[in-house]
Every structure is written in structure tokens, then in C-alpha cells.
Amino acid sequence: MQGLGVVYVLLLLGICIPGQMMVQRVDRVERVASEKTVISERPKVALTFDDGPSAVYTPKLLNGLKQRGVHATFFLIGKNIEIGENAQIVKREQEEGHLIGNHTYNHVEITKLDEDSAYQELRKTNEIIEGITGESVEFMRPPFGLWKKNLEEKIPAIPVMWTVDPMDWATENVDEIVNKVVTEVEENDIILLHDCYDSSVKAALRIVDLLQAEGYDFVTVDELLLK
Ligand code: NI
């Protein structure tokens, strides 16, 4: 409707604009308006990857996402970042436009810890990530999806759950993972996967190909949560 409004104003202005120029301008406005409409109507979906970084599988995933122009969200385990050269993978995730979140330092069930230990799990991981990216961490995913509400007051991180879980960690069958996701997925879904398995990485890239062909746009979770 905004596009039509602009066209209408231009038509009014057209009284003072030579005919040929007017036609070109209206044409252009209509074209821009229709392009905008197409973009805004594409359904959005977010891929999230827990438990990385993995020196073996995360770079393969990053290559595939880059080829497809897709941004994802990575919830990292603090101690995994400290293995070998994994910090470079975190840097690469940031440089290639992915969103990075916290998945605790030891991958612990946070509700079973006392408040101080739980806080330390998150704080330590935030510090490691921030030391690499230079940016504050805004989002976290509690391991096993279990969260204590009172921690939100202590740590400035927004817990992010998921809406589609193909249980990729429980199978090496790529088709099974892909089929579960593409049959269940709907607009604005958050898909849970893990970038520490070969089958999950292969499935993720097939999911991207299939859903992009269906017209989905892949976004980072902040675009779904903060809209
Ligand atoms: Ni996990």
C-alpha cells in the first residue's frame, strides 16, 4: 500500500512533469515497490547450532553456509572454544555474519547448579567469546533447554529455545534429519541442530537448499526475536 501511495503522489506531481519522464518514474517506483513486497513476504526461519565449535565439522558448515548466502546462530560451549585453534573458528563465524551465543562453559544442566556456579558458567563463556569477537554476547541457549528464570536478572543474556528439533544427535541418517525438519517447519521457526556431527552438517545444508527453493529466508535468531 505504501508503494501505491508513492505512485499516487507522483501521479499528482505528474501534472508538472513531462509525460515521458513521468512514465519512467512511475515505472521505477512500481518496480521498487514490488521488489520490496517480494522480500518482506518471504517467510523467515532460523538455523541454530549448539555444542560447537568443532575443528572438523564447523568449517565445513561455514563453507556451505557461505556458498548459500545463509547466516545462522551458533551457541558455543566455552571449553570447546579453548581447544586447539577453535578460537579462529569463532572469529570466522563473526566475520561471516553469523550470530554467536553462549551454551555454558561445561555444557551443564544449569538448573542443577547453585546460583553462583550457574552464573560462572555463563560469565566465563561470555568473556571467552567477547575476548575473540570484541562484541558483547546477547543470547544464550541453556543446555537441555532447562533454565532458571532468576538467572536472567544476574546475566544480561536472553535465553533462546527452539521450535523444531529433529534430534540430530541421535541419528547419523541425514535423510531422517532433513525430512523431520522440512515436513515440520513453518514460518518463524527456530531449528535446533549441532555442528559437531558430519550427518548434521550435511543435513543442515540440504535443509537450506530445500527451504530456499520453497522461498524461505534464513535469518539469525535476533531477527525473529527482536522484531
Ligand atoms: Ni547442547
What separation in Å is there between the alpha carbon of 9 and the centre of ligand 1?
Answer: 54
Banded model confidence at residue 18, pLDDT cuts 50, 70, 90: very low
Residues with CB under 5 A from ligand 1 (ion): 50-51, 143
Q: How does DSSP assign the chain, residue by residue?
A: -HHHHHHHHHHHHGGGS-HHHHHHHHHHHHHHHHHHHHHHHS-EEEEEEEEE--TTTHHHHHHHHHHHT---EEEE-HHHHTSTTHHHHHHHHHHTT-EEEE--SS---GGGS-HHHHHHHHHHHHHHHHHHHSS---EE--GGG---TTHHHHS--EE---SB---GGG---HHHHHHHHHHH--TT-EEEEETTSHHHHHHHHHHHHHHHHTT-EE--HHHHH--
Banded model confidence at residue 59, pLDDT cuts 50, 70, 90: very high
What separation in Å is there between the alpha carbon of 93 and the centre of ligand 1?
Answer: 18
Does the pLDDT value for residue 16 go beyond 50?
no
pLDDT score of 30: 52
40-52 pLDDT, tens digit each: 579 999 999 999 9
Q: What is the pTM of this model?
A: 0.82
Q: How far apart are CA 103 and CA 35, in angstroms?
A: 38
If you average pLDDT over residues 52-76, what whole number do you get? 98
What separation in Å is there between the alpha carbon of 214 and the centre of ligand 1?
Answer: 29
Does the pLDDT value for residue 15 go beyond 50?
no
Does the pLDDT value for residue 8 go beyond 50?
no
66-83 pLDDT, tens digit each: 999 999 999 999 999 999
pLDDT score of 150: 77
Catalytic residues, by residue number, are: 50, 194
Banded model confidence at residue 148, pLDDT cuts 50, 70, 90: confident
CB atoms under 10 Å from CB of 136, counted, come to 10
What separation in Å is there between the alpha carbon of 75 and the centre of ligand 1?
Answer: 8
Does the pLDDT value for residue 1 go beyond 80?
no
What separation in Å is there between the alpha carbon of 143 and the centre of ligand 1?
Answer: 5
